[in-house]
Amino acid sequence: MVDSPPGAGPNNTITDVTGVSVGHRHRLDERWATGSTVVLTPEGAAAGVDVRGAGPGTRETDVLDPDHLVQLVHGVLLGGGSAFGLSAADGVLRWLAERGHGLRVGSTPHEVVPIVPAAVLFDLPMSDWGRRPDATFGYAACEGRTRGVPATGNVGAGTGAVAGAIKGGVGTASAVLDDGTTVGALIAVNSSGAVVDPRTGLPWALSSGLEGEFDVPAPSAEAIAAARGRSARTDRAGAEIAPLNTTIGVVATDAGFGKSECRRIAVAAHDGVARAVRPAHGMTDGDTVFALATGDRSGAPAPGEPGWVAALDAVCTVAAEVTARAIVHAVLAAGSVAAVPGYTRLYHPERE
């Protein structure tokens, strides 16, 4: 268990939301740096999505439109591998279907179609060509799922991620509202924009942290100057490459919201992306955030009932906050890979 600042859930992770589990599968060696992450809700969750980047790679996002038939999803797949990596969702479908989880389309329990939206990031230069996630990654991620504390940093979808000129990765955070509602986020940070303020050497969204959440001293002037002079993005061989991009993630809550409210939560979560990544939502980004509502905590007002607007606004506000905090956790947890330095190596080499 990790330290849990006041205001966070027990583990300060998205799995603090009842009904949510997380699994990773990745390969990280001299030829591979990529992987997949699955956020599972096998019993079903209402879902929404908001795509802000102009270069997304997605699957099954149309079913999340509030006026479309399907009301619940059974998992979300986040992955590396660009468009190739979307095939990892096939493995998630197989794993869920084997266990009878999905939209029932027949008279017997095994006749189900799991609904698994997906989004991918571009990390192809971090592996030898042709090495990218496939259906076996999605299936293995499900097999390794946990409702406890999921690994962060160079894992799953964040294995080959690059954030600005430093190593990106997977991060997570949670918060508990005054009424007991829990909100959590899991984000894979692979941004073309910077996640660190070049003037201070500190993550842009460090101030979003709860009391005692981030132990990050100010870097030395020498480290800041050295980092400022390092702007090139490099592949595993050290050759300069075009920007790797796309920040993707999932925000979840145990509130009893529907698809329309989830859409608003996903919209709000992008505020957290913009606080932590500068610039965000560019033409070469595919920034995509999904929102899930498991409904395990009853009592949320229905649309039109007194308190509905206030309840939704409260969750939206916290969704942006946990997203920003998850991005900081991703950056701090990610270690160096090949020629791409992690935050600690670049700004606090004395700590390595």
pLDDT tens sequence across 282-328 = 998 999 999 999 998 767 777 778 888 999 999 999 999 999 999 99
Cα separation of 321 and 229, whole Å?
31
Return the CATH superfamily for domain 14-351. L-amino peptidase D-ALA esterase/amidase (3.60.70.12)
Tell me which DSSP letter residue 278 carries.
B
The pair of three-digit structure tokens given for residue 284, joined into one six-digit string: 């070469």
Which pLDDT does position 3 carry in this prediction?
A: 56
Cα separation of 151 and 129, whole Å?
26
* pLDDT-based confidence at residue 236 (cuts at 50, 70, 90): low
**pLDDT per position as a tens digit, 93-143:** 999 999 999 999 999 989 999 999 999 999 999 999 999 999 999 999 999
Q: Hey, where are the domains in the chain?
A: 14-351
Please count the other Cβ atoms lying within 10 Å of the Cβ belonging to residue 104. 12
Which pLDDT does position 339 carry in this prediction?
A: 86
How far, in Å, are 11, 116, 212, 258, 260 from residue 293 at the CA level?
A: 19, 15, 28, 7, 11
What is the overall mean pLDDT for the chain? Answer: 93
